[in-house]
Amino acid sequence: MDAITRRTGLDPADLTGFYLEDLYVGMRGVYARTITETDIVMFAGISGDTNPMHLNEEYARATPFQGRIAHGMLSACFITTVLGTRLPGPGTIYLSQTLRFRSPVRIGETVTTTVTVKEIVAEKRRAILSTICTVGETTVIEGEAMVMVPPRPTGDAA
């Protein structure tokens, strides 16, 4: 066992994502997670967003949503999950993100996040990615991310 594995519990092979040269337009990464009560309460505690829309059913029933909804940014966080662990993966640096919230997410619903490479800007080591979160057939968040992607180290074969 090497020092990185001993210290982090991670295999060093898991610490490298795709290199810029590995990306292609249309390449996709996906992550799905079912939202739980615990997720909402923990996100409220970590973020400080204790809006009763998320935490108080009686209050939320009197709103246009007629019940509690998850924090929009909780679902948006799944975009960074894809970027940092799947596509492009470890080594990716998040530069910007646009978000459009289209529909609420409720406890028990599964959010599927899909990130798709739209454009590669090789000279700047950047990738432009479409970011979409859905619940079933309903788009709940859509946007676009720009990331910096590490190049393949000199001497590494593809």
Least confident residue range of 15-29, 39-53, 63-77, 135-149? 15-29
Q: Which CATH architecture has domain 18-36+69-148?
A: Roll (3.10)
CA distance 21 to 76: 27
Which among 111, 44, 47 is positioned nearest to 78, based on CA atoms?
A: 111
pLDDT number for residue 146: 98
- 90's CB contacts (< 8 A; 6+ apart) are 14, 15, 16, 17, 84
pLDDT number for residue 7: 45
Q: pLDDT digit string (tens) for 45-71?
A: 999 999 999 999 999 999 999 999 999
Give me the residue spans of the domains in the chain. 18-36+69-148
Output the pTM of the full model: 0.86
pLDDT number for residue 8: 44
